[in-house]
Every structure is written in C-alpha cells, then in structure tokens.
C-alpha cells in the first residue's frame, strides 16, 4: 500500500517506517527534522521509500502527499506535557490544527490510523480503572489537544484511534524523557532516583509493539475502523516504585528513595484495560523486563555528556 507517515523520523516512526518498508509497502515520510536526526538513513536503499522535508502545518505541502496515500499515519506532534507547556502555540498548531486541516483533505476511502494517548484518563475513576468507555480527564495541554483531535477523528468512518500507553524501548531517534527510558537511564548512569508519589500507576508499551499494532490495524482495518483502542501491556500496570523494583533486578546497585515531601507535576494515576484490542487478536510480544534489558544495553552506547568531561 501507499502509506504517508508524518513525523516518520521521530521516536515511533523510526521503528515503524522500516517495518512497513520491510513488508513491501511504499512509504512516504514527511518530517521537519526538528532534532537534526538521521534516524531513517538505514532505509534509504528501499526503492519504495520517499522522504520529504517539510511541515505538517503547511497545507500546500500536505495536500499533494495526502492525495496519493492509501493509508495515513499522523505521527507528527510536539509530544509530552513539558514540551507542550514550553511551546503552547507550536503544540496547538501541530497537534491540533494541522490534524484538523489534514482531515479536510482525506477522502472516505483513505485509511487513517491515529496515535492518541491514554494519558487523557487523568486519574481515572474512583478505582483508577479505565476502559475505552471511561470518562476522560486530561490534565496536560498535550492530552487536552489529543482528546479534541480524537473527537474530530471519530467523525470520519475510516479511522482508528490508538490510545497509547507510555512508550519505552530503544529507537534510532531516542527519547530519554519517557518514564521507563528515563528511570533506566538514571539507574545505569547515576545509580539512584528520588521518587515523588511513588504509588502512582500507569500503563506501558514497548515501541516495537506499537509498530506491530499499526501494522495489525492496516491488516484488520475493515473490522477495526471507527473504533478506539487502548494499546498497552496488560501485565504492566505498575507504579513508579514497582517499576524501580523491576529495574533493580537488572541493576542491583540501583537505589530509589521515596521523597517525604514534594508533588509530581504529572498527576496521572490509573490502571488501563487493553482487553478490547486483545479480544480481536492483538497480543503484545515485548514485556517490560525485555525492554529494561534492551535499554540497559542501549545506554551503554548513549551518554548525555555534552558538557561533561567523562
């Protein structure tokens, strides 16, 4: 199929795009290369790969790319609460306005598979348990914009919304600010972390299972379209303290302490059900322990030492 992936050189796209190409699809990536990354250099040999340097907010850039796509996967976004707070105008124009503009130019026959976020559950209900039917209580600007986009998306019949859990795992365009990635990096480099509100729980998902669920969605689109699906590891609804205990198994001298005072600015605290997508046959294959061990190997190569002497 002809697939357009916006933001395809980012953290998720740098794993998904090679997998799509390996399956024989023709893939066009639109990316601004905001982070000066070359994360898709290793797939330039595919004849079916096309790369466009550009901005998803520019209508004249998007229209011709959309016109020739069978499938659209809009990954381009300013991702995460801190970045969106730092640049709220850029966040709104990229995460919300650009997607609304895109929806104006897709036909009813084109397939859209959209990543949204389960962070929109906020702190869940009184039991902190969330299904796709649970009320949404987005806390951050990032989550608020994603909720609005999902509402607009569901007005189109040929769409799927994947509410992604917190992602972890190695990527050619690495992110260290995601919780599992961050904690493992601290364990490897610093050997300690101080936890605020360590009992807060959330759900997690390996980046390669995200690639798998997008490909699963393309293959099973006719029975999945028009629906919202939570995508996460059902065995990984864990608290920050429990996550540190898992990391400690592989980094024995890692020390983690509960802060007696202080508040986590990220007040998300929920348990997420992934039963809906599992019921139609999607099963994750990369557990949390696998990802932790993968990250430990990766952080042997990656060091944030721009201003350090060691």
Report residue 152 CA to chain centroid gap.
20
In DSSP notation, the chain reads: -EEEEETTTSTTHHHHHHHHHHTT-EEEEEE--TT---TTGGGTT-TTEEEEE--TT-HHHHHHHHHT-SEEEE--S--SHHHHHH-HHHHIIIIIIHHHHHHHT--TTSEEEEEEEGGGGTT-STT-EE-TTSPP---SHHHHHHHHHHHHHTTSTTEEEEEE-EEES--SS--S-SHHHHHHHHHHHTSEEEESSTT-EEEEEEHHHHHHHHHHHHHTHHHHTTEEEEES-TT-EEEHHHHHHHHHTTSTT-EEEE-SS---S-----EE--HHHHHTT------HHHHHHHHHHHTTT----TT---
What span, in angstroms and rounded, lies between the C-alpha atoms of 9 and 14? 5
Report whether pLDDT(13) > 60: yes
Which residues are CB-neighbours of 94 under 8 A, at least 6 positions away? 56, 57, 76, 77, 78
* pLDDT in the model for residue 80: 79
CATH code for the domain in which residue 72 is found: 3.40.50.720
pTM equals 0.94
CA distances from 169 to 28, 158, 206, 209, 298 (A): 24, 30, 6, 10, 9
Q: Look at 157-171, 179-193, 258-272 and tell me which has the smallest mean pLDDT.
A: 258-272
| pLDDT band with cut points at 50, 70 and 90 for residue 84 | confident
Segment 296-303 shows an average pLDDT of 92
Q: Is residue 306 in some structural domain? A: no
What span, in angstroms and rounded, lies between the C-alpha atoms of 124 and 251? 32
Q: Is residue 10 in some structural domain? A: yes
| pLDDT band with cut points at 50, 70 and 90 for residue 302 | confident
| pLDDT band with cut points at 50, 70 and 90 for residue 83 | confident
φ, ψ of residue 156 in degrees (nearest 5): -100, 135
* pLDDT in the model for residue 69: 98
Measured in residues, the chain has a length of: 310
Report whether pLDDT(124) > 60: no
Mean pLDDT of the chain: 93
Q: Is residue 310 in some structural domain? A: no
Q: Look at 63-72, 83-92, 97-106 and tell me which has the smallest mean pLDDT.
A: 83-92
Report whether pLDDT(120) > 70: yes
* pLDDT in the model for residue 161: 96
End-to-end CA distance of the chain: 48
Q: What residues make up the domain containing 285? A: 2-237+249-298
Q: Is residue 305 in some structural domain? A: no
Look up residue 5 and give its two tokens.
């992936």
Q: Is residue 242 in some structural domain? A: no
Q: Is residue 102 in some structural domain? A: yes
Report the number of distinct structural domains present in the chain: 1
Contact call for residues 51 and 27 (beta carbons, < 8 A): no
* pLDDT in the model for residue 270: 85
Segment 50-54 shows an average pLDDT of 98
Q: Is residue 307 in some structural domain? A: no
| pLDDT band with cut points at 50, 70 and 90 for residue 135 | confident
Q: Is residue 244 in some structural domain? A: no
Report whether pLDDT(308) > 60: yes
Percent of the chain with pLDDT over 90: 78
């Amino acid at each position: 199929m002809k697939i357009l992936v916006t933001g395809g050189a980012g953290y998720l796209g740098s794993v998904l795009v090679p997998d799509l190409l390996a399956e024989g699809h023709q893939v066009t990536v639109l990316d601004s290369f905001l982070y000066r990354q070359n994360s898709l250099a290793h797939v330039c040999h595919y004849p079916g790969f096309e790369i466009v340097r550009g901005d998803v907010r520019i209508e004249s850039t998007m229209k011709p790319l959309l016109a020739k796509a069978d499938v659209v996967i809009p990954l381009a976004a300013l991702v995460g609460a801190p970045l969106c707070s730092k640049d709220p105008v850029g966040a709104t124009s990229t995460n919300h306005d650009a997607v609304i503009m895109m929806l104006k130019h897709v036909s009813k026959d084109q397939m859209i598979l959209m990543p949204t976020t389960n962070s929109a559950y906020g702190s869940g209900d009184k039991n902190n348990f969330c299904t796709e039917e649970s009320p949404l209580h987005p806390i951050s600007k990032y989550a608020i914009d994603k909720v609005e986009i999902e509402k607009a998306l569901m007005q189109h019949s040929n769409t799927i919304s994947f509410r992604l859990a917190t992602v972890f795992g190695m990527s050619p365009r690495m992110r260290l600010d995601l919780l599992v990635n961050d904690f493992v990096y601290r364990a490897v480099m610093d050997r300690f972390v101080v936890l605020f509100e360590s009992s807060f729980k959330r759900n997690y998902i390996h980046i390669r299972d995200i690639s798998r669920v997008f490909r699963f969605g393309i293959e099973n689109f006719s029975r999945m379209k028009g629906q919202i699906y939570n995508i996460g590891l059902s065995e990984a609804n864990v608290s920050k303290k429990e996550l540190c205990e898992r990391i400690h198994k592989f980094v024995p001298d890692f020390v983690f302490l509960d802060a007696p005072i202080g508040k986590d600015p990220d007040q998300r605290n929920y348990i997420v059900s992934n039963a809906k997508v599992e019921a139609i046959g999607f099963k994750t294959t990369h557990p949390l322990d696998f990802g932790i061990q993968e990250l430990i190997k990766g952080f042997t190569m990656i060091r944030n030492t721009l201003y350090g002497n060691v």
